[in-house]
Structure 1
Amino acid sequence: MVKSTIVKILLLLIGIAHSFVIANELPNICSRDQNVNEFTILSYHEIADKSETLDSTYAVPPSNFDQQMNWLIENGYHFVNIDDIINYRKYGKALPNKAVLITFDDGYQSVYDNAYPILKKHKIPFVIALVGSWLNGKKTVDFSGKTIARDKFLSQKEIRAMIHSGLAEVASHSYQFHEGLQGNPQGNMEPAITTRLWFKDTKTYEDEKSYQKRVYNDLLENNIYLEQYTGQKPRVMVWPYGHYNIEARKIAEKLGMPIGLTLDDGSNTRITPLWGLRRILVEGKMTLKDLEHNMLSRNANLADDDRTTKAAHIDLDYIYDPDPAQREKNLGALLDRIKNLGINTVYLQAFADPDANGAADYVYFPNRNIPMRADLFNRVAWQIATRTQVKRIYAWMPMIAWELPKNNPAVNDTVVTLQVDPTHLNMGYPRLSPFSPKARKVIKEIYEDLAKSTYIDGILFHDDVTLSDFEDDSQFAHKQYKKWGLSDSVSAIRADRKQFEKWTQLKTDYLDDFAMELAQIVRNEQPGLKAARNLYAQVALHKDAQEWYAQSLAQSIKKYDYTAIMAMPYMEQADNEKEFYDSIVKNVKQVQCGMERTVMELQTVNWRKDNEPISPRELHDTIGYLYGLGVHHIAYYPDNVFTNNPDADKIRADFAQKPIRMHSLTSFEMAPNN
C-alpha cells in the first residue's frame, strides 16, 4: 500500500465520528455528559480554493472561512486563546459566553496567506499545530507518499510573524508521527502514535517499553525543534489523526504539554479533561448551515448517544480459516456484504469457542493468557473502519466465560454452582469466578492486551455478565460474602430471605462494577470507548429475574452506554411475538433514558428449529413494528456472509425505515406508554 493511500485512509477516520449527526433533534437529556458546553474548538486544515489544495477533503475556501468567522461574530460567539482556557480551568477565571477556539492542523502555508489576514482583522486568537519533520525539509517534503515543495508549508518568518502579533500559539503535531506504521501482520498502516509496530523480520510486536520510548523521543524532538524554530515552546499537543492513549497523554504532560486537542465528538464541559479536549472538524464541503448546526448542537449538548443504531452482530469464526489466503478472501466477501447491509455499527466477535461449551478457548488478538487462534481481529476491524460505511465497531467479548490453558495460575478458580433441580435455571457454561483475585488479574490483562492491539469504538460484553441464584459457591465467593456481612455459603444465604435479597443486589453491583473496570482499562487506550452489554430478555420481562441472573434492566441502562436486550422470542419460546416485544418495550420505557440506551437485538435463525432462517418478511415486519413502538436502536444476530442470511438487500431496506423518535419516561416528562 502506497503511503498516500495510507494517509487518506487515516484522514477518513478523522471524519467518521463527525459526519453522522441527526438533524433537528431536541437537546439530549440522556447524554452521559449533561453539563453545559463551556467552549467549542474548531479544527481547520488548509484555507485555500480546491485547485490550490494538497487535500481538498479538509480544505476550506477562503471565502467560506471569511463567512464562518463573520457568522460567529454576528451570532455572539467570543474567541478565546489557550491562556483563557488554562485560567478558567486552573484559576476559575470565567470564560465569555459561547466561547470558541480556532485551530489549524499541519501548518499549511495557505493559513498565512488566506486565513491570517481575516484573523488579524478581527483580532481572533488561534493555534497552529506543526509537524517538525515537514518544517525541517530543505526544498521538498515527503507528504502522503508524494514529494511536494517545502513552501507549501509555513516558513519560519511567517510563523514568527503570526506569533509576534500576539494571536498565534504554536502546538506540537509530532515530529514525524503524521503517518501510518505497520500495525499487524497483514500490513495495515495505522496511526503511528498509538500503534504497536509489527516487525516483519522478527514477526513480533513492539514491546511497551520500546513503544513508550519511541513516542517520548518523537514528542521531545518536536518540542526542541519547534522552540528553536519558532521561539515558542509548545504547551499544547494536537494528536495526529485524533488518535491518542493514556501512555501518549502522560508523555505529553511530562514534556510540558498538559493540553491535548483531539477529534473526539461531543462538547467540552467541566468534566472534559484538558488532555482530551474535543473539536469540530471543519471539512471542505461543510456549509455555513452545517457549521451552525454543529455549533448549536454542542451548545445544546446533543451527544452521539441519540444516534440510531443499525447493527450486525458478526462472528469472526466465519472469516477465520487456517489458510491465510482464504481468510483474506473471506474478509473481502464480508466487506462487500457490510457495504450492502446499510448498517452503521458492527458487534465483532473477538474470541473463539470451537468446542461450543460457552467459554472462550481462543482469541483473535495477541495476548498473555489465552491461545491466539489467529491474529485477525485488528485486521478485520481496521478494514471495516476504513473500507465501509460503518461508524462504530464494538469488540464482542466474554467477561468471565474463559477456559484458560492448564498452566494458567487461575485455571481452577471457577464459578461453583450448587446442585439444583435440573428444571431450574442454570447458566450451564464454564466461567472464572469474578471473586478470585487471580482470575480478575487474568481477565484484566486480556482486556488490556485487546485494547493495545486494535482500533475499536466500544466493548460489547457477552451474556456471561451473570450469576444465577445458585452461584457462586466457590471459596473466593465465600470470602466476599463474609466481607458483605452475609453468611459464607450460598445455601445459608438462600435460607434467609433478607440475606438473599441483599446478596442478589450485591452480586449485580459487583458484576457491573467489574465490567466498568474492564471498560476503563480499554478506554485508557481507546478514549472514546462505549460500554455495551447483552442482557437476557427475561430480565426485561419479569420483576423477579434479577434474582435468577444478577442482572437488572434499570441498573444496566444507568451504568452502560447501551444495553442490548436479546429480544429473541423463539429462543425464549414466547407464545406471542408481538406481546413479547410489547412487554419489553413497555418496561424499557419505564426506565429513565431507557429507549435512548437500549438496543433490541433480534434473532435471524431459529435455533430451536434446526437453525432455520427467520423469513425476510418476518424480519421486515418485526423491525417496522419495533420502530413503530418508538425503539431507537436495533441489532441482529447472527449475520452469515456465506448464506446471505439475513438477505442483505432486504435488511438494508428494513433499516432504511424511519424510527419514531419516542423518549423514555423521565422526571421531565410523564406520558402514557404505548
Structure 2
Amino acid sequence: MLSIRNLFCILVLALLPGWVSAQSQGLIALCYHNIAAEWDGDPMTTTRDQFQAQMAWLKAQGYHPISVQQLISARNQHQSLPEKAVLLTFDDGYAGVYEHAFPLLKQFNFPAVLGLVTDWLETPTNQQVHYDTGLKPRSDFLTWPQVDQMTASGLLEVASHSHDLHHGITGNPFGDLQPAATTRRYDTTEQSYESDEQFHQRIKSDLQQSSDIVFKHLKLRPRVMVWPFGEFNRETLDIAQSLGFSLSMSLQEGSNNQIDSPVIKRYLVKNNPNLAEFIRDIRNIDVVPPVRVVHVDMDYIYDPDPEQTRRNLGELLDRIKAMHINTVYLQAFSDQNGDGNADAMYFANRHLPVRADLFGHVAWQLITRARVNVYAWMPVLSFPLDAPDDWWVHEFDHDHNAQPILSKHNYRRLSPFHHEARKIVSEIYQDLAKTNHFTGLLFHDDALLTDFEDANPAALPHLKDLTPEQQSGLKIAALAGWTKTMVDQVRYYRPDIKTARNLYANVVMDPNSSAWFAQSLPSFLQNYDYTAVMAMPFLENALEPMSWLESLIKKITAYPQGLQKTVFELQAVDWRSKQKVPDATLAEQMSLLRRLDAFNYGYYPDDFHRDKPSLDMLKIQLSLPQNVTDQP
C-alpha cells in the first residue's frame, strides 16, 4: 500500500503548473540497484516505499514501462514504442529485488531488466562476495532459483553485468583502481600497460564466461550487456556484439532519442530520492547544467620530487572540491617556458617525450574525489616532433618573391594538410585515450592559420586559384577536419567525451579577423560541444574592459545557441603587466556574465599555491548549487 504522504504527493505534483511535459523526451531508462525495507545508508539502495511511490507515479502519469523485446522490435522497425516509454533496470543482482521489487512489478505488471554479475551469484553460500574493494554477505544477493522464478514470470529479462569486471584494476603507475572493462591494466613490475591483444582476450573471456553461466542455469543466453559502472567503449561493444549481445546499457546522462543507438543511456537512481526529488529528476533528465570551469596547468602540479607532486595534487583537490564547480580543463602536455608550444607530454605515448605519466592519475583523482568533469587540454598542431620541414606550416615570404618559407609564428605547428602529420598526431590522441580516463577534450589555441599561411607544399594544390575568402573557408574547414580526426580517435576508447575548442575573441569582435586566424564562431558552434572563447580584455588591450566584455557577450548572444554552447574563459593574470587580475575585477566580470545570461564561464590560470584567485571570491562568483555538482 502507498503511504498517505506519498499518495498526496502524487496527486499534488500531478496538478502543479509549470512542469515541462515529458512527452517530448525519448525513452527514459532507470537504473536501480538494491530495494530494501529500510534505507541502509548505501547510496545505491532505494526503499520499498519510495520505489512503490515512484512506480505508482509513473503509472498515474501515463508512462509505459517496456520490455527488452519491445525495444528490440522498435529498433528493428517492427513496432513503435508507446509514448512516454520507460525501461526499468536493476543492476548487481541484489536479493532485495526478489523480496521487495518483484512483488511490486507483478502488481503493476511492469517488465524490467535484471543485470547479474555471475561471479557473485556463483559464490558459495558459506562465503562472502568480493564486491568492488570490499566484502558483502552472500545472502545480500540473489540465488539462481530466485532468478529462475522471476524470469519465468515473463516480466524480468536477465542481462549480463559481466562475470568479474565489476571492480577496479590498477590503471597507472600511481596504483589508481579504475573500471576493469575500459582500463588497460598497468603492470607495476614491468612498468607497462596491457597490450591490445591482452585487453581484448580478457574482456572476451569474461563476457563469454558470464553468458555460459547464465545458460547453464536458465537455458538461455543473455542478449543485453549492462556495463559495470556504465563504462564501455567501441572495443568492448564490438566484443559484446560478436558474442551475441545485441543491446548494451550504460550510465550516460539523458533520455534516449535514438533507440537505434547500440547503447541505452540510463538515469542512476541514488540516495533513496523521495517522490518530489524523483519527479524533479525525471522532468529534468535532459537539462544540461551550466559549465563552471577552472583551467589548470599540470606544470603547477608536477615536481621532480614525487612527494611534492603528491602534496601539490592534494592542495589542488581540496581547492577544487571547495569551489563546487563541475569542470576542469587539465593540461596534458608540458610547456615549461610558457610559450604555448608543447615540450613533452604527461602521458605514455609512442611518439613524444614523456615528462611524467601523470595526467591519468590527476584526472582520475579530480573525477572521483572532486567530482568534476575533466577535459584533456591538448595541442592541436604544435607538437615537438622531429619531422621534416615539409610537415610544418609555411607562409609566403614577401621579402623574397613570395616564396613559401617555414612560418615565423611563435606557435610551431604541423600543417593540417599534411597526411603523415595527421596520422602521427592521431596516434598520440589514441594513446591518450587508451590509457587515461577523462570526460572531454579541450583543443588548444594553437589551431590557427594566419592569412599568409598555409603555404605548405601539401596545401598549395588545394588553395590554388581560390579567392581569399574561399581560402579562408578552406583553412577553417581543414582545421575542423583535423580536430574531428582526433575526436574520432578518442571516442573509440572514450565514447562519452565532450569537446571544446579555444576561440580568439577578435574573431567574434571583428568579422575581418576570421581570415587572420582561420577561425569562425559559426563553425565552432557547429563542430564542437562548446566554444571556449578567450574572453580576456587585458590580453586584447581593451581600453574599457567591461564594455569590451559586454560587447563580446552580446555578439555571441546573437548566434543561435551562442550562449548555450560558449564557455567564457576569463583571465586571472594580466600577461602584459605580469600581475594577477584583482579579485574585484574578476568578480565584476563574472557578475556581468550572469546578468547577461552567460552562465558557462571560468578562468585561466589557477594558482592554487597562492590562492589566486581567492577561494572566498570564487565560492561566491563561480560555485554551483550542491546538487548540480553531484556527479554519479
Is the shorter-chain TM-score for this pair beyond 0.5, marking a shared fold? yes
- 1:646 equivalent among 605, 613, 621: 613
**Residues 427 and 635 (structure 1), Cα distance of their counterparts in 2 relative to 1, 3 Å cut:** farther
Q: Structure 1 residue 433 and structure 2 residue 415: aligned?
A: yes
State the AA in 2 paired with 1:194.
T
State the AA in 1 paired with 2:538.
Y
Q: Map residues 29-40 of structure 1 onto 2, 5 A cutoff.
A: 36-40=24-28
Identify the residue that residue 500 of structure 2 maps to in structure 1: 532
Identify the residue that residue 198 of structure 1 maps to in structure 2: 186
| Aligned residues of 1:129 and 1:170 also touching (Cα < 8 A) | yes
Distance in 1 (CA, whole Å) between partners of 2:103 and 2:313 is 50
- 2:97 equivalent among 108, 111, 114: 111
**Displacement of 1:291 after TM fit?**
1.9
**Identity of paired residues, percent?**
38
Q: Structure 1 residue 588 and structure 2 residue 565: aligned?
A: no
Distance in 2 (CA, whole Å) between partners of 1:303 and 1:147 is 37
Distance in 1 (CA, whole Å) between partners of 2:443 and 2:95 is 47
Distance in 2 (CA, whole Å) between partners of 1:430 and 1:630 is 37
**Displacement of 1:26 after TM fit?**
7.0
Q: Map residues 105-504 of structure 1 onto 2, 5 A cutoff.
A: 105-139=91-125, 140=127, 141-270=129-258, 273-298=260-285, 302-304=286-288, 307-390=289-372, 392-404=373-385, 406=386, 413-419=391-397, 427-481=409-463, 486-487=464-465, 499-504=467-472
Describe the SS at the equivalent of 2:562.
Answer: coil
Distance in 1 (CA, whole Å) between partners of 2:341 and 2:333 is 9
**Displacement of 1:39 after TM fit?**
1.4
State the AA in 1 paired with 2:392.
T
Residue by residue over 1:123-145, the C-alpha shift from the partner in whole angstroms, topping out at 9 and shown as x without a partner, is 21111000111011112222234
State the AA in 1 paired with 2:109.
K
| Aligned residues of 2:132 and 2:168 also touching (Cα < 8 A) | no
Identify the residue that residue 672 of structure 1 maps to in structure 2: none
Describe the SS at the equivalent of 1:348.
Answer: strand
Identify the residue that residue 580 of structure 2 maps to in structure 1: 613
State the AA in 1 paired with 2:262.
W
**Residues 79 and 259 (structure 1), Cα distance of their counterparts in 2 relative to 1, 3 Å cut:** same
**Residues 278 and 514 (structure 1), Cα distance of their counterparts in 2 relative to 1, 3 Å cut:** same
Q: Map residues 40-119 of structure 1 onto 2, 5 A cutoff.
A: 40-50=28-38, 53=40, 56-119=42-105
Identify the residue that residue 520 of structure 2 maps to in structure 1: 552
**Residues 600 and 502 (structure 1), Cα distance of their counterparts in 2 relative to 1, 3 Å cut:** same
| Aligned residues of 1:434 and 1:440 also touching (Cα < 8 A) | yes
| Aligned residues of 2:323 and 2:623 also touching (Cα < 8 A) | no
**Displacement of 1:200 after TM fit?**
1.2
**Displacement of 1:412 after TM fit?**
5.2
Distance in 1 (CA, whole Å) between partners of 2:223 and 2:349 is 35
| Aligned residues of 1:160 and 1:231 also touching (Cα < 8 A) | no
Structure 2, unaligned runs of 5 or more:
1-17, 400-406, 626-632
Name the Cα RMSD after superposition.
2.0
Distance in 2 (CA, whole Å) between partners of 1:608 and 1:170 is 63
State the AA in 2 paired with 1:116.
F
**Displacement of 1:420 after TM fit?**
5.3
| Aligned residues of 2:377 and 2:442 also touching (Cα < 8 A) | yes
Between stretches 648-657 and 186-195, larger displacement belongs to: 648-657
**Displacement of 1:654 after TM fit?**
1.5
Structure 1, unaligned runs of 5 or more:
1-23, 29-34, 488-492, 494-498, 659-674
Describe the SS at the equivalent of 1:129.
Answer: strand
Distance in 2 (CA, whole Å) between partners of 1:149 and 1:647 is 48
**Displacement of 1:342 after TM fit?**
3.0
Distance in 1 (CA, whole Å) between partners of 2:560 and 2:20 is 16
| Aligned residues of 2:19 and 2:283 also touching (Cα < 8 A) | no
Describe the SS at the equivalent of 1:57.
Answer: coil
**Displacement of 1:27 after TM fit?**
9.0
Distance in 1 (CA, whole Å) between partners of 2:588 and 2:162 is 52
**Displacement of 1:632 after TM fit?**
1.5
State the AA in 2 paired with 1:638.
P
TM-score when normalising by structure 2:
0.91
Describe the SS at the equivalent of 2:284.
Answer: helix
Distance in 1 (CA, whole Å) between partners of 2:500 and 2:31 is 30
TM-score when normalising by structure 1:
0.86
